Amino acid sequence: MIRKTLSESLFSYLWIAVGAALYCLGFNWLFEPNHIGFGGVTGIAQVIHALAPALPIGALVFALNLPLFLLGWRLLGGHLLVSSLFAMALTSVGLDALASLYAFHPMEDPLLASLFGGAILGLALGVIFQQGATTGGSDLAARLVKLKLAWLPLGKVLLAIDLIVIVAVAVAFGDLNSALYGILALAVSSWMTDTVLYGLDTAKVAYIISRCPDEVLRILVHDLGRGVTVLHGEGGWSGEEKRVLLCAFKQRLIPEIRRAVKETDPEAFLIVCDAREILGDGFGTYTGNEI
């Protein structure tokens, strides 16, 4: 098990605080004054409050989050609970504190509010998720879903959960426009969250089949300083044995790789693929609490 040092833990909690601040700003500036539908536990609490006005929203949010956090403690461990409680406390206090300090006015164009609000909240959630934390509610529920369906992108899981909540909010309040803007904001937020979590690693993987693999290998390793793995393949039509060169590299090296291969062997077969995630020397490292 990988343990964080004290300085790494403090740095992680600092990033959670940054994400919480962005979350509060995006919600108070662009969601609340423009009456854009909001998903998650807050949306569920709004629906219940509409049906039973005697139940306060804040108490409902806490009551709905409690079983999720208890389940998170059992399935995801203590670090998630502590960091997520920290994130939830900051966002809860920050939302009320910011609202009391400054009253944001509605934007003339709700479309801009939904687009930029979704982008800011997606960025905030991505930053928090990167540190192995959640803000509770649907964020934590999505993490629990990924325990069983680890191949699902987290932003898409959040999108599905929050979409159901926003539809329920629209039914409870009878405000179709609020729901439609909320759905648009959710799509942007989901895309931004996945971009922060998975899309910043612009690594590529190349498969190279050449008539002179030794020369191509020499150039890649010695001239360009790239690591290469030699795979042994066979031509499907000819049955001829072939050496396939597998090389991982950053996106900025695409022109150099392409030029080196084609200048060495103009007939070389070159396949360049996007790599969603690469862990290892020269690329990313595994830090635990993966999403």
From the list 267, 211, 198, the residue with the least C-alpha distance to 243 is 211
Q: Do 123 and 250 fall into the same domain? A: no
CA atoms within 13 A on the CB side of 170: 16
Enclosing domain of residue 246: 203-274
Q: Is residue 288 part of a domain?
A: no
What does the alpha-carbon distance between residue 124 and residue 19 come to, in Å, rounded to a whole number? 4
State the greatest distance between any 2 C-alpha atoms of the chain, in Å, as a whole number: 78
* Residue 221 buriedness (CB in 10 A; 0-12 / 13-18 / 19+): middle
18-59 residue pLDDT tens? 998 998 898 889 887 887 877 777 777 667 767 887 775 556
What does the alpha-carbon distance between residue 214 and residue 168 come to, in Å, rounded to a whole number? 62
Mean pLDDT is lowest, of 52-56, 116-120, 197-201, 245-249, for: 197-201
Cα–Cα distances in Å, from 191 out to 32, 259, 267? Answer: 21, 33, 39
Q: Do 174 and 70 fall into the same domain? A: yes
Q: Is residue 291 part of a domain?
A: no
From the list 9, 7, 171, the residue with the least C-alpha distance to 78 is 9
Q: Do 207 and 268 fall into the same domain? A: yes
In sequence order, the 6+-apart residues with CB closer than 8 A to the CB of 289 are: 79, 80, 131, 132
Q: Is residue 128 part of a domain?
A: yes
151/165: higher pLDDT: 165
**203 DSSP β-pair partners:** 250
109-142 residue pLDDT tens? 989 999 999 999 999 989 998 887 877 777 677 7
Q: Is residue 287 part of a domain?
A: no
Q: Do 184 and 215 fall into the same domain? A: no
Q: Is residue 107 part of a domain?
A: yes
Q: Do 253 and 155 fall into the same domain? A: no
Q: Total structural domains in the chain?
A: 2
- Among 150, 176, 199, the domain boundary falls at 199
30/279: higher pLDDT: 30
Q: Do 220 and 147 fall into the same domain? A: no
Mean pLDDT is lowest, of 122-131, 178-187, 235-244, 273-282, for: 273-282
Q: Do 93 and 154 fall into the same domain? A: yes
Q: Do 58 and 158 fall into the same domain? A: yes
Phi, psi of 25 (to 5 degrees): -65, -50
pTM for the whole structure: 0.67
| % of the chain with per-residue pLDDT over 70 | 81
Q: Is residue 284 part of a domain?
A: no
Q: Is residue 285 part of a domain?
A: no
DSSP state letter for 7: H
CATH for 225: 3.30.70.120
DSSP 202-240: -EEEEEEE-S-HHHHHHIIIIIS---EEEEEEE-TTT--
Q: Do 209 and 240 fall into the same domain? A: yes
**229 DSSP β-pair partners:** 246
Q: Is residue 33 part of a domain?
A: yes
- Among 165, 199, 233, the domain boundary falls at 199
Phi, psi of 123 (to 5 degrees): -65, -45
- Among 199, 233, 254, the domain boundary falls at 199
Q: Do 156 and 258 fall into the same domain? A: no
Q: Do 176 and 100 fall into the same domain? A: yes
Q: Do 210 and 187 fall into the same domain? A: no
88/212: higher pLDDT: 212
Phi, psi of 272 (to 5 degrees): -115, 125
